[in-house]
Amino acid sequence: MSTVNDAIKRYKETGNNEDRKGRGRKKTARSRKNVQCAKGMIKRNPTTLKLAKKLDVSEASARRILKKDLNLKPFKFQKRQKFNAQAKLKCLQRA
């Protein structure tokens, strides 16, 4: 019955039956401060290992900051030869 009583008490206090704000585990590694630091650092030195050491978080947390918070993708741009009109024709003839 304590669950029902808690729900009634919460409804009387807040006016609805939703969870109170501030419940749950707080962010530590992916805090706003760390995200802002990572944003500046990644432009100068794009390695997750060095970023993790500077922010004093795990390498997985550093990757999560880059991927989820800053929307960066984990790949390095690779140079390729130019795909010109002549190469395009040759490709179409083979198909």
With respect to residue 89, please indicate whether it lies within any of the assigned structural domains. Answer: yes
Report d(CA 14, CA 21) in Å as an integer: 10
With respect to residue 86, please indicate whether it lies within any of the assigned structural domains. Answer: yes
With respect to residue 78, please indicate whether it lies within any of the assigned structural domains. Answer: yes
| pTM higher than the cut 0.85 | no
With respect to residue 59, please indicate whether it lies within any of the assigned structural domains. Answer: yes
**pLDDT higher than threshold 90 for residue 60:** yes
**pLDDT higher than threshold 70 for residue 1:** no
Q: Please tell me the total count of domains within the chain.
A: 1
pLDDT at 56: 92
* CB 67 within 8 Å of CB 38: no
* Residue 85 tokens, joined: 């009109």
Print the domain residue range for 41: 28-94
Report d(CA 68, CA 26) in Å as an integer: 17
* Residue 68 tokens, joined: 């989820």
How many residues does this entry show for the chain?
Answer: 95
With respect to residue 6, please indicate whether it lies within any of the assigned structural domains. Answer: no
pLDDT at 67: 92
pLDDT over 90 for what percent of the chain? 21
What mean pLDDT comes out for the span 34-49?
86
Report d(CA 93, CA 87) in Å as an integer: 10
**pLDDT higher than threshold 80 for residue 76:** no
Report d(CA 76, CA 85) in Å as an integer: 27
Dump pLDDT digits (tens) for 3-27: 888 888 888 888 887 877 778 888 8
**SS3 of 11, please?**
helix
**SS3 of 27, please?**
coil
With respect to residue 18, please indicate whether it lies within any of the assigned structural domains. Answer: no
With respect to residue 20, please indicate whether it lies within any of the assigned structural domains. Answer: no
